[in-house]
Structure 1
Amino acid sequence: MRSASVGLRRNTAGTALFLVMMIDSVVNGLFVPLSMLYLSASSGASLVKVGFLLSLAGLVSLPLPLWIGRLVDRLGPKPIVLVAQLLQAAGFLGYLMVRDTGAILLAATVASLGQRAFWSSAFTLVSNLSDRDPGGHSRERWFGVIGSLRAVGYGLGAVVAGVALSVKSGLVYRGAIGACACLLLVAAVLLERGVPRSVTVALKEKPGNEDAGSRGYRVLWADRPYLALVGLNTVFALCNVMLSIAFPPFVDRRLPAVTWVVGPLLAMNTVVQAALQTTVVRLIRRLPRHVSLCLAGVLWASWAGLTAGPLWMPRALWVPCLTVAVLCYSAAQLVHSPVSNALSADAAPVDIRGRYIAVFQYSFAIATVVAPLLFSALFALSSAAPWAALAALALLTVPGMLALAPRLPRSARATDGGPDGGPDGGPPETGRSGA
């Protein structure tokens, strides 16, 4: 009976967490398309100034994950995720009161701190819940379900944002921002009521290991294989963000006759992500994780090459080529998202997993900062230059992953066996090799 009770609590907690992650994606899908126009109209500031203030707020929050990782290991991930949701809600409520640039910076900083704290702790919460899952799910399945729900959530938010943009009403914009704040508060309630803290505590390592407080970041900074993994994942993350950052302006400026296809192709990517994530997880679960990530690198290189392909093709082939290109992107993302998150969790010592995963999230933060600068600089040189550089970087991840894999813990590389890839379904190995 005790085992059944624990299993029920874990299932309830998992469902609540899935809903929290989906709500976060709905909020992002709804707010991002409206953000620049709403904040510009509310404050009277130019789009350039609004963009600068939002970027500045993001830079202010950049050091936060290092502190969040320590708090997650000390307090557990649930309270940090809860505070993160409340901070984001406070930021959105601040957006409703924006009247000048100072208010924009303050609200954006609060929201950015909350978002950074959320992504620096939420994946630790997922990883802890998936430890010894009584249902026999692998980590990839947990992250796969989350990836699918996030795609659905972002798509729903984007649809509502599109309706709001078509209405072009300040009142509708404010209603959308207010809805985001309310959704984040709902997510906080779901988390507090649905996820018992007792089922979010990571499994402890074997007796005799050092205490987490004495290990801290000293172990992580000495763990060269894990830092190399973060570096390689930055390349993957760069490929990941380029669809939304680089693809629309490339098509608009160099293939203006088919600009209309951008919206449908982005919608197609969302549908593919939502519909096929769990299927792809089942198909790749027997592959070693580093092999799956090599596959993602090849697929992203194919996406980059095919995106540039219309520059040398007759117009009749532009849409088919771009369609295949986006499908390659979708396939790469379907493989990369669950596998990379599972690998980062299982490659970390359990007692300081919070610090490790917080640092792993820097790969996405760095990619988000670098991508606009990289694309604009290379695009000024040549229309094909950004895609050639991206394809080359993506292909370099293949030898990089093959060289790195033997230096990572065996249980982090494998997906067969137990829920975490171990031979008996127990906690992942925590021994380091090559550190």
Structure 2
Amino acid sequence: MVETWLRRLMWGRGVSAAGDGLWFTTWALYFTRVVGLPPVVVGVAMAVAGGAGLAAAVPLGALADRFDARHVAAATTGVRGLAVACYPFVDATWAFVLVTVVFVAPANGGNAARTALLAGLVVDDAARVDALARQRVAQHVGYAAGAGGGALVLGLDDPAAYHAAIAVNAAGFAVLVVVLLLAPRPRRLPRPSASPLRDRPYLAVVGTTAVLSLCWAMLSTGVPLWTSRTLPLSLSGVLVVVSSVGIALLQVPATRLAGTTPGAARTAAVSGAVLAAACLLLALSGSLGRHVGVAVVVVAGLLHLAGELGYVAASWQLSLSLMREEARGAYQGVAEAATATVQMVGPAFFTVGLTALGAGGWLLAAGVFLAAGAAVPGLVRRADRQVLTS
């Protein structure tokens, strides 16, 4: 029964991700061109919503421990679907901010509740990570399909097309809600006796590992800013396609590198070093000729892919194997909040670094990746000892 549901969840995540890809391709122009909101209002609303999401991640995860994780995961997903369905009716700034907060804020906590549900149904850590990897593959395939549909919507640039995209996204959330409600009942555990916010070794591991998630802002912000100076503008788009295809093909096999807690720690360290090497190549590419520069950037993109695959696999394994089972929702909420915090500062980190320091910005990023990855094994050994003695 669990295996059947995991397959359904994978497909449900793919359908929901297709709606997300459609929405995230079109939302900026929808808000500014159709709704008529100033870009600064959109940016402020997203920042406020992101902050609310950070604050809500751990409490929502804790609710999944106290109550049925199925219902918490389904409720957060359903609230987000209802919120996005309200966008066509938004006609004032205050309403836009309110709907955006309701849409964005439950996202991190919902992810935590969904992971807690999966952990309640699958006992073995390696099987848990494998299931998460398969979901990520389905998610990326769905994003790609949705982004293709988004391109068509942008080409039409008509309010009706944007509203249709919103309806498709809301329907994707509805599909995922049904899948979550059909999940088997997870294992019952004693109520948690302590908060993960007091588990300093765990906080240190997930906080340091989350620094490696700068790799996402590196690809979405750093590389386009850098290559647009002297290299073809399409190059960053090519790297995104390579990354998406690589994740779809390799994320599941990559989880085997992080099948144990020590293996995950080593994988995180190697991933940090590989991402640092990619940064060094990007710094070098600016001083080379056009053709050689393109080749160097492509190699850096492949290293980035390898580093991202390893980081994601390691972060899953470490966040699951080092948590207390009776508080898995709250612990996953902490892990989600740590990653979301890094994601909030990531675009600014690369924008300011590359603008102010040029190639030196890549050297700074390389140092951050290398230091974060190198710190993980020692922090994991400390956290692992605490798990064994508790």
TM-score relative to the length of structure 2: 0.93
CA distance in structure 2 between the partners assigned to 1:76 and 1:311 by the alignment: 53
Partner of 1:139: 128
> Partner amino acid for 1:390?
A
Partner of 1:392: 367
CA distance in structure 1 between the partners assigned to 2:3 and 2:156 by the alignment: 41
Is there any run of 5+ residues in structure 1 with no aligned partner, and where? 1-8, 205-210, 411-428
Partner of 2:249: 275
SS of the aligned residue for 1:259 comes to coil
Matched, 1:107 2:99: yes
Is there any run of 5+ residues in structure 2 with no aligned partner, and where? none
Query: 1:38: Cα distance to partner?
Result: 0.4
SS of the aligned residue for 1:99 comes to coil
Matched, 1:262 2:223: no
Partner of 1:310: 285
Matched, 1:234 2:234: no
Query: 1:116: Cα distance to partner?
Result: 2.7
Q: Structure 1 vs Structure 2: percent identity of aligned residues?
A: 24
**Cα RMSD over matched residues?**
2.1
CA distance in structure 2 between the partners assigned to 1:150 and 1:142 by the alignment: 12
Runs of 4+ in 1 over 4 A off after TM superposition: none
Partner of 1:424: none
Matched-pair contact (CA < 8 Å) for 1:92–1:177: yes
CA distance in structure 1 between the partners assigned to 2:54 and 2:299 by the alignment: 35
* Alpha-carbon spacing, 1:56–1:284, altered in 2? closer, same or farther (3 Å): closer
Describe how 1:25-174 pairs up with structure 2 within 5 A.
25-132=17-124, 138-174=127-163
| Structure in which a larger fraction of residues adopt helix | 2
Query: 1:369: Cα distance to partner?
Result: 1.3
TM-score relative to the length of structure 1: 0.84
> Partner amino acid for 2:332?
I
> Partner amino acid for 2:2?
R
Deviations 1:327-368 (A, max 9, x none): 111111211212211211110111111111111111211012
SS of the aligned residue for 1:407 comes to helix
Matched-pair contact (CA < 8 Å) for 1:61–1:116: yes
SS of the aligned residue for 1:18 comes to helix
CA distance in structure 1 between the partners assigned to 2:36 and 2:360 by the alignment: 37
Matched-pair contact (CA < 8 Å) for 1:42–1:98: no
SS of the aligned residue for 1:216 comes to coil
Describe how 1:232-381 pairs up with structure 2 within 5 A.
232-252=208-228, 254-255=229-230, 257-282=231-256, 285=259, 288-381=263-356
Matched-pair contact (CA < 8 Å) for 2:61–2:110: no
Matched-pair contact (CA < 8 Å) for 2:205–2:383: no
* Alpha-carbon spacing, 1:380–1:85, altered in 2? closer, same or farther (3 Å): same
CA distance in structure 1 between the partners assigned to 2:90 and 2:288 by the alignment: 48
> Structure 1 stretch 23-32 or stretch 277-286: which is displaced more?
277-286
Query: 1:408: Cα distance to partner?
Result: 2.6
Matched, 1:180 2:180: no
SS of the aligned residue for 1:258 comes to coil
Partner of 1:431: 388
Matched-pair contact (CA < 8 Å) for 2:257–2:267: no
Query: 1:283: Cα distance to partner?
Result: 5.3
Matched-pair contact (CA < 8 Å) for 2:271–2:308: yes
Partner of 1:216: 194
CA distance in structure 1 between the partners assigned to 2:114 and 2:160 by the alignment: 33
Query: 1:406: Cα distance to partner?
Result: 1.8
Matched-pair contact (CA < 8 Å) for 2:54–2:341: no
> Partner amino acid for 1:188?
V
> Partner amino acid for 2:87?
Y
Count residues with an aligned counterpart: 389
Query: 1:239: Cα distance to partner?
Result: 2.4
1:189 to 178, 192, 195: 178
Query: 1:88: Cα distance to partner?
Result: 1.0
Deviations 1:367-422 (A, max 9, x none): 12111222232233122233222110111023311321321327xxxxxxxxxxxx
